[in-house]
């Protein structure tokens, strides 16, 4: 790419490719009219929360779709994790990946349970079952794997290792609603699983989450704990919390569910368009879905190999951001490098070689129903341009940043 073409990039003063920012996680919105009708019902009924009819219907629909006996709708996915792990009796130490959103670790630490970070598989993004046994101690009470990006982890192998130590497994399936593993819906594995229905998720209820399980006793405990531990009007049997989903959230959830097929179709088209647009770009590898399974395609994730692209993940982010493409470095720098875990386990990285190697190279790109095929073409076109002229772009960005560092030093020296 010659200098003139480079000048067209917004990062070097050109016009941004998009007038408005394109986000990772712009909400999927279903039929607004249906939502308004439900809102009308809620207001007329004057039951706004405390497991009203909308929440009950939402729970039933989720349980049916997943194929489990129980769904307990929650205020969000984090509280769902906290309650599920508490109700099972997790304490002491729990084995979990660091390659996840920090809520996975926080849900444990919030209850004084130590997350013991386990590395991911070489070349993968998910917990490595082969590494679990080296982390089991007498204090270990469970395993908390994550079905990251809606792609299942090695569920059978994890359950088998955990079983050999009699450790219960709770799956963090925050991303994986509507996805399957070996033909069976995610949500039906382990003692329990959780979903998130946050605004940025495939199916959203503004904020929201759920615990799903086939264990009747566990479901009962989760339900009680979610409602302050009340077992009747005047009797409390557990330390509980307020983890309830509201009626309006359930109304949004139900409305989202009705459009689930359209959301999948839209996401799938975007995914195929990304796949086509990125396939010949050296150093940019799309994390692929197994299309023999059910997928929600809600995350478009690429791995950048800087040795080939000559621009780092960070530089790519800077260039895309200037074009109004708000890509995200999920989940950099890893839970083990965030507080309080960084202070508790300053050397955790030594055991997390695959995680450390991956975290600096991952970018999530915008998708969802707010992103069109034309948007995706533009995004992949830009990435292609970037990779063709990675060396020149990288040099120019680095020259600019060292110029501005020099300038800042001169200003400081003059002050």
Residues forming contacts to ligand T4K in the complex (CB under 6 A) are 23-27, 76-78, 100-101, 103-104, 146, 172, 174-175, 196, 198-200, 209, 326
Burial class of 160 by CB neighbour count within 10 A (0 to 12, 13 to 18, 19+): exposed
| Distance in Å, CB of 176 to ligand T4K, minimum | 9
Identify which of residues 180 and 367 has a Cβ nearer to ligand T4K in the complex. 367
Identify which of residues 111 and 310 has a Cβ nearer to ligand T4K in the complex. 111
| Distance in Å, CB of 10 to ligand T4K, minimum | 18
Do 196 and 77 meet the contact criterion of CB atoms below 8 Å apart?
yes
| Distance in Å, CB of 9 to ligand T4K, minimum | 22
Coil, strand or helix: which one is 295? Answer: coil
Q: In 3D, which of 216, 205, 211 has the Cα closest to residue 173?
A: 211
Q: What is d(CA 46, CA 327) in angstroms, rounded to the nearest whole number?
A: 41
Q: What is d(CA 218, CA 211) in angstroms, rounded to the nearest whole number?
A: 10
Identify which of residues 195 and 274 has a Cβ nearer to ligand T4K in the complex. 195
Q: If phi over 0 gives left and psi between -120 and 50 gives alpha, with beta otherwise, what is residue 145?
A: beta
| Distance in Å, CB of 188 to ligand T4K, minimum | 18
Burial class of 2 by CB neighbour count within 10 A (0 to 12, 13 to 18, 19+): exposed
| Distance in Å, CB of 76 to ligand T4K, minimum | 4
Query: Residue with CB nearest ligand T4K?
Result: 77
Identify which of residues 176 and 319 has a Cβ nearer to ligand T4K in the complex. 176
Q: What is d(CA 39, CA 45) in angstroms, rounded to the nearest whole number?
A: 10
Identify which of residues 281 and 371 has a Cβ nearer to ligand T4K in the complex. 371
| Distance in Å, CB of 201 to ligand T4K, minimum | 7
| Distance in Å, CB of 208 to ligand T4K, minimum | 7
Identify which of residues 171 and 274 has a Cβ nearer to ligand T4K in the complex. 171
Q: Residue 373 belongs to what H/E stretch? A: helix 373-388
Identify which of residues 190 and 394 has a Cβ nearer to ligand T4K in the complex. 190
CA distances (Å), 367 to each of 90, 96, 130, 186, in order?
36, 28, 33, 22
Cα-to-chain-centroid distance, residue 356: 18
Identify which of residues 26 and 141 has a Cβ nearer to ligand T4K in the complex. 26
Count of CB atoms situated within 10 Å of the CB of 182: 10
Burial class of 303 by CB neighbour count within 10 A (0 to 12, 13 to 18, 19+): middle
| Distance in Å, CB of 1 to ligand T4K, minimum | 29
- Neighbouring C-alpha atoms within 13 Å toward the C-beta of 415: 6
Identify which of residues 26 and 384 has a Cβ nearer to ligand T4K in the complex. 26
| Distance in Å, CB of 74 to ligand T4K, minimum | 8
Q: What is d(CA 385, CA 6) in angstroms, rounded to the nearest whole number?
A: 9
């Amino acid at each position: 790419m010659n200098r003139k073409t480079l000048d067209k990039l917004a990062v070097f003063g050109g016009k941004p490719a998009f007038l408005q920012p394109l986000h990772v996680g712009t909400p999927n919105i279903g039929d607004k009219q249906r939502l308004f009708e439900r809102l009308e019902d809620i207001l007329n009924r004057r039951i706004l929360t405390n497991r009203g009819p909308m929440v009950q219907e939402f729970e039933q629909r989720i349980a049916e779709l997943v194929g489990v006996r129980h769904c307990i709708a929650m205020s969000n996915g984090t509280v769902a994790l906290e309650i599920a792990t508490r109700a099972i009796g997790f304490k002491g130490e729990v084995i979990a990946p660091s390659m996840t959103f920090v809520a996975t670790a926080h849900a444990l630490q919030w209850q004084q349970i130590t997350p013991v970070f386990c590395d991911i598989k070489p070349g993968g993004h998910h917990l490595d079952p082969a590494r679990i046994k080296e982390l089991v101690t007498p204090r270990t009470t469970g395993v908390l794997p994550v079905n990251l990006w809606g792609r299942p982890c090695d569920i059978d192998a994890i359950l088998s290792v955990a079983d050999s130590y009699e450790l219960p497994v709770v799956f963090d399936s925050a991303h994986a609603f509507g996805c399957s593993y070996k033909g069976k819906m995610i949500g039906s594995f382990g003692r329990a699983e959780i979903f998130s229905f946050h605004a940025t998720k495939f199916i959203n209820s503004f904020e929201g989450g759920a615990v799903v399980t086939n264990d009747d006793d566990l479901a009962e405990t989760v339900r009680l704990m979610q409602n302050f531990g009340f077992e009747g009007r005047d009797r409390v049997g557990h330390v509980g919390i307020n983890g309830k989903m509201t009626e309006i959230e359930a109304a949004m959830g139900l409305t989202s569910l009705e459009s689930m097929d359209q959301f999948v179709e839209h996401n799938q088209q975007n995914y195929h368009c990304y796949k086509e647009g990125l396939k010949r770009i050296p150093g940019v590898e799309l994390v692929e879905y197994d299309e023999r399974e059910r997928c929600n395609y809600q995350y478009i994730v690429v791995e950048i190999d800087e040795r080939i692209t000559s621009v780092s993940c960070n530089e790519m982010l800077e260039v895309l951001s200037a074009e109004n493409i708000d890509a995200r470095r999920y989940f950099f720098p890893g839970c083990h490098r965030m507080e309080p875990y960084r202070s508790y386990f300053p050397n955790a990285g030594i055991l997390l070689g695959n995680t450390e190697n991956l975290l600096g190279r991952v970018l999530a790109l915008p998708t969802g129903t707010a992103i069109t095929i034309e948007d995706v073409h533009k995004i992949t076109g830009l990435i292609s341009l970037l990779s063709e002229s990675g060396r020149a772009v990288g040099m120019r960005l680095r020259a600019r940043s060292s110029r501005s560092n020099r300038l800042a030093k001169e200003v400081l020296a003059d002050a």
